[in-house]
Amino acid sequence: MSIIFKTNLIKLCRVTLYQNYRMSAPKCSVAICQFTATNNKENNLKIVKQLVSEAAQKQARIVFLPEASDYIATNKNEAKAFAEPLNGTLMNEYRNLAKTKKVWLSVGGFHELVKNENNEHQIFNTHVLIDDEGEINGVYKKLHLFDVSIPELNVNLRESDLNEAGRQLVPPVMTPAGPLALAICYDLRFPELSIIQRKQGASILTYPSAFTKATGILHWETLLRSRAIETQCYVIAAAQYGKHNEKRTSYGQALIVDPQGKIIAECPKYREGHETNQSIAIAEIDSNLIQKVRTEMPVFQHRRSDIYQLQVIGGEKIPINDEETFSFAHKIIPASTVFYRTRHCYAFTNIRCVVPGHVLISTMRCCKRLEDLTAEEVTDLFLTAVKVQKAVENEYSASSSTLCVQDGKHAGQTIPHVHIHILPRKPNDFEVNDEIYDRLAKHDREESQEPLRNVAEMSQEAEILRKYFYQ
């Protein structure tokens, strides 16, 4: 079983777990780690093993490593040469370490080597969460890259010169300490991300970091405490410390902050003359405190969603469980015919196709009209349509598409459930271009010219289309 498949399967189970979480878990000890990574990968791993062993001896259930725990290179060429895939040697060392020490391990920033669809190598700054059996439970690619120049502070870094930016949020992962959200360093400066993660069910936010000395002095503690207060979550931030090379110095001060903004665990701040530091700090995550804070000041219930909203653009990809079924008004859609799913909608192959590649996208919630959908559902539905359109055009070598919503009975809607038809188009596929609308209006009636397909044929097509979304 591949790492990706295992991860997707775990995510599928996780959705129900964290939605059902009721802040009733016992207290859980966690550890933050702080050290000075260099371009010596072997030595960095040796330090990581020492820190994790110490944390395990102190009964920590989850151990958090800083960003760039694998290495901090001295130049771009070195950084490229050292990167590894998630099934490489170094990640296997981390997985074995977690399994051996029986701890969950947050590898806060791993230089992940990936081959894209053009067989080209890319590098992502990736936060990997490993459980105490050594299985990967969460993979998050850093969304916000640190491209910043502040001459007066001697800060001049362009993370995008090496790394690609991530393209999606990752739902909170259920852990022994509760639902845990993944982020990395510079993500800390974007409160929209933490608000959405809280809305998705997070009770713990994580910001493994390699904050520069200059920006750390100004903003590090303030930002971390702010994220905790505004989301009413624990904030856990492992950190790099000290002088990595002649060009790079990190601030340190790894922190754990409680939902009221109080620092409950802390490692040293960087000091001149103390160029390296290797330390851990332990704290308890208390789910009852989260519940107390959120009950006494229910700010998320007081948010004015009738006036403003914050939502994920493009939907949150969710793995498909082939054992389940989907509702399409009164009809049942087998999961084997579904090729893409988000929180609010799903795309599936059609039982009658007006043109090859004619597929449907339906909302998860059964609503008859577009006006019955929330703003978040509408956004998800149409951004999903763009993604699906691109995939079917690619698969069926089409140059255009017809997208159609029959919004209500008198518009031709025969299934009283909001859905979008996507029909890939080719030159001269109809003698009269707009004939497609007449054929579409009749395609699911007795006078239809299109034959009914069986589930096996629809499932085979869905399997082909899934490759565009679940590689």
* Residue tagged active-site, from 111, 141, 142, 358: 142
Helix (H) and strand (E) counts in the chain: 12, 23
CB neighbour class for 107 (10 Å; exposed up to 12, middle 13-18, buried from 19): buried
Active site residue 247: no
Phi/psi of residue 109, each to 5°?
-165, 105
* Residue tagged active-site, from 67, 266, 376, 377: 67
Neighbours of 181 (CB within 10 A): 28
The whole-angstrom separation of Cα 85 and Cα 254 is 27
The whole-angstrom separation of Cα 119 and Cα 106 is 29
CA distances from 70 to 107, 241, 456 (A): 9, 14, 46
Active site residue 344: no
Query: Of the candidates 453, 458, 427, 425, which has an alpha carbon nearest to the alpha carbon of residue 439?
Result: 425
The whole-angstrom separation of Cα 315 and Cα 376 is 9
| CB-based contact 366:327 (threshold 8 Å) | yes
Query: Of the candidates 103, 33, 41, 22, which has an alpha carbon nearest to the alpha carbon of residue 64?
Result: 33
* Residue tagged active-site, from 419, 421, 443, 461: 419
Give 454's contacts (C-beta < 8 A, 6+ positions apart).
Answer: none
Query: Of the candidates 44, 165, 39, which has an alpha carbon nearest to the alpha carbon of residue 94?
Result: 44
- The total number of residues written for the chain in this structure: 471
Active site residue 99: no
In which residue are the tokens 């029986």 written? 102
Active site residue 419: yes
* Residue tagged active-site, from 28, 33, 185, 233: 185
The whole-angstrom separation of Cα 4 and Cα 139 is 10
Exposure letters 24-55 (e unless 16+ CB within 10 A, then b): ebeebbbbbbbbbbbbebeebbebbeebbebb
Query: Of the candidates 411, 396, 413, 307, which has an alpha carbon nearest to the alpha carbon of residue 359?
Result: 396
Which amino acid, residue 323?
A: E
Pairing of strands 62-64, 28-35: parallel
Quote the tokens at residue 313: 């653009």
Residues carrying an active site annotation: 67, 142, 185, 419
